[in-house]
Structure 1
Amino acid sequence: AEEAKAHLLEFAAVNKIEIDYMPGQMSVAHKQRYVDDYKAHAEIMATRFGYPHISFMDARETAERLGSARYFGGTRDTGTGHIHPLKLVIGTAKVAAQAGAQLFEQTLATAIASVGGKVRVTTPKGTISAEKCLIGVNAHGGTLEPISAAHIMPIGSFIGATVPLGDSNVLPGGEAVDDSRFVVRYFRKSTDGRLLFGGREIYAVNDPKDIHVHIRRQIAELYPDLRDV
């Protein structure tokens, strides 16, 4: 995992990909009874795994670092961070194209099969042959790979963004945050100062039209001053 983090930052730097990297990740407890688990996690990571970058935060420090007093404690990891994922994807695609890779955008893969020692990917407009095939489709592979498909269920999660907040006490250190809810709330600030807030989930195919109402409500629970932002 440490090598993967270092590789990502090195890859972006060498290839001049602006990924908007911001250091820091906080995991916070929305109930008091979870606090001891977070404290134990920080201790185990340091003593058993030799990872010194995670520290425990009590309720006061958590409130200061989040700009919200709705959580009871948590951990802060200074050895990691968060990025702009789309910028990484676009930058990686450009690097691949420059290296000679052929990119087929907006092309639905309908089947994958091994033919003559190669892999053949079928699409509505033709087939693509390659020596190997890496299936990187998140939870949307359908029946492309039946074994894994039987264990995957797509879940929709939604993110809302505020206007740039300017001078604000919301996440003054710029860390990303996730909490202990079963339906996780996760949020961070962008490089231009917007709060990007994720929450809620659905198991249906169609996205709800009123999702913004739920995201606004969750933001307001943590940051009442942002109720109408």
Structure 2
Amino acid sequence: MDLLSANDRPGQYPASYYAASARPLDPFPPARGALSCDVCVVGGGFTGLSAALHLARRGYDVVLLEAQRVGFGASGRNGGQVGQGQRVEQDALEEMLGKPHARDLWRIATQSVDLVRALCAEVDMPFHDGIIHADHRARHVPQSWDYADKLNTEYGYDKIRPLDVEECRHLVNSPAYHGGTIDMGAGHIHPLQFAFGLARLAVLSGVRIFERSKVQELDAGNPTQLRTPDATVSARYVVLGCNGYLGGLQREVAARVMPINNYILATEPMTPEQQEDVIRSNVAVADSKFVVNYFRFSDDHRLLFGGTESYGYRFPADIASKVRKPMLEIFPQLRETRIDYAWGGTLGITMNRMPHYARLAGNILSLSGFSGHGVGMATLSGQIAAETIAGQAERFDLMAQVPTLRFPGGAALRSPLLVLAMLWYSLRDRL
């Protein structure tokens, strides 16, 4: 199944709130004929756009090939939350890799948030501070508080603090949560507007962007040859930033990065007072369930609520009803609130939920598998790809040294195993 077309119309953005509210980006032409460049970037999401931008600013001649439209995939459909740290907490990373390596990964992750903030300022769009981690079971709260204390004392990170049940329910007007933490060093953005902003910066820096230009073949060599339906691109270097939409282009990566679907709805606009009665201080929220519920408000006061599990790669016929159910479990007071938009998207996950960095050849880099933590890390990964090609590979190597195992059975068996895993974890979330 080709996930680039399984749930969407070719060349069209989904009917999402983001697509309806972002300042439109004029279409780019398809690639045609014989093209050559220093670097060919495959994928027009955060990774690819950031790589193209940072490479062009270093003086490289860059071609970016996007199979659909810029920001078409997870980069333009996600929850917009820019979390601190890696997708895996520092305790687990210390156990997996040792404290020095874990500290390096924390440093890299904080740099990803700094980069998104800086780029948001450059494209003149807001970055809103604050993400609450909300515990859906009282027994989880002490662990959350201990983790905040660890970050304070061992990592010198003083922007996260504990929330008791009273303050948590003051900030998030729901009986579902028992406490947690609030991290004011994290935040949230309009992701598709961010992608469009990166594309505009890239073009101003000289990047040649081509849409509706799916890479069908990639022949490694020096130079590497990439073929689309109407073009052949010859490149000294290649950056693959395809994440959940890689398909069969590179099977070694596909065996380690699994596409899964997730869903979001947007309510009708509320008044600023109504917004404050749901979530105070315009912070974002992500809860402690394995099948995470995540939510925040848009700049025009709509609740954007995401989550729910998906078995198989086809989007459900009624996404709004599917997502409305967990929304009402958390906010029963919104039962009469109208749903204006609902959409799905495909992201890439790995076995250990850490990004998969790989040198597929001396001149081909792949960076993907951000596991729901990609707004910051995918954007930074593009910058890391650029500096690696320029000869500074320290951050790339630190990320690549994190083992990302093949899914059992490779690409062929990942989907049925995912169904079993999601059924188990969704059951555990209810216990």
Q: Is residue 2:331 matched to residue 1:223?
A: yes
Task: Could you list the structure 1 runs, at least 4 aligned residues long, displaced by more than 6 angstroms after superposition.
Answer: none
Q: Deviations over 1:1-42 (max 9, x none)?
A: 23332222223323xx14331110111111111111101110
| More helix as a share of residues | 2
Q: Please identify, of 128-137 and 49-58, the stretch whose mean Cα deviation from structure 2 is larger.
A: 128-137
Q: Is residue 2:306 matched to residue 1:198?
A: yes
C-alpha distance in 2, partners of 1:203/1:151? 19
TM-score between the two structures when normalised by the length of structure 1: 0.93
Structure 1 contact 219–227 (Cα < 8 Å) conserved: no
What residue ranges of structure 2 are gaps of 5+ in the alignment? Answer: 1-108, 338-431
| Counterpart for residue 59 of structure 1 | 165
| Counterpart for residue 91 of structure 1 | 197
Q: Deviations over 1:171-202 (max 9, x none)?
A: 11111111111111010101111000001121
Give the C-alpha shift of residue 219 in structure 1.
Answer: 1.4
Task: After TM superposition, list the pairs within 5 Å mapping 1:96-175 onto structure 2.
Answer: 96-115=202-221, 117-166=222-271, 167-168=273-274, 169-175=277-283
Structure 1 contact 62–69 (Cα < 8 Å) conserved: no
Give the C-alpha shift of residue 131 in structure 1.
Answer: 2.3
Letter in 2 for 1:113: D
Structure 2 contact 120–126 (Cα < 8 Å) conserved: no
Q: Please identify, of 218-227 and 192-201, the stretch whose mean Cα deviation from structure 2 is larger.
A: 218-227
C-alpha distance in 1, partners of 2:169/2:142? 17
Letter in 2 for 1:218: P
SS for the counterpart of 1:154 is: strand
C-alpha distance in 2, partners of 1:224/1:55? 28
C-alpha distance in 2, partners of 1:3/1:217? 36
SS for the counterpart of 2:309 is: strand
C-alpha distance in 2, partners of 1:142/1:25? 33
Letter in 2 for 1:224: P
C-alpha distance in 2, partners of 1:136/1:77? 29
What residue ranges of structure 1 are gaps of 5+ in the alignment? Answer: none
Letter in 1 for 2:255: A
Structure 2 contact 120–127 (Cα < 8 Å) conserved: no
Give the C-alpha shift of residue 130 in structure 1.
Answer: 2.2
Q: Cα RMSD (Å) of the superposition?
A: 1.4
Q: Deviations over 1:119-145 (max 9, x none)?
A: 322212222222222111121101222
Q: Deviations over 1:32-71 (max 9, x none)?
A: 1111110111011111111011101011111111121210
Give the C-alpha shift of residue 222 in structure 1.
Answer: 1.5
By relative contact order (CA 8 Å, sep 6+), the higher-ranking structure is 2
Letter in 2 for 1:104: F
C-alpha distance in 2, partners of 1:136/1:83? 21
Give the C-alpha shift of residue 205 in structure 1.
Answer: 2.1
SS for the counterpart of 2:147 is: helix
C-alpha distance in 2, partners of 1:157/1:4? 23
Give the C-alpha shift of residue 114 in structure 1.
Answer: 1.9
C-alpha distance in 1, partners of 2:124/2:329? 33
SS for the counterpart of 1:213 is: helix
SS for the counterpart of 1:182 is: coil
- Residues paired across the two proteins, number: 226
Q: Is residue 2:319 matched to residue 1:211?
A: yes
SS for the counterpart of 1:71 is: coil
Letter in 1 for 2:194: L
Letter in 1 for 2:229: P
Q: Deviations over 1:138-166 (max 9, x none)?
A: 21101222222102221110000001111
C-alpha distance in 2, partners of 1:144/1:46? 43
SS for the counterpart of 2:240 is: coil
Judging changes above 3 Å, is the alpha-carbon distance between structure 1 residues 40 and 146 closer, same or farther for their aligned structure 2 residues?
A: same
Match of 1:36 among 142, 145, 148: 142
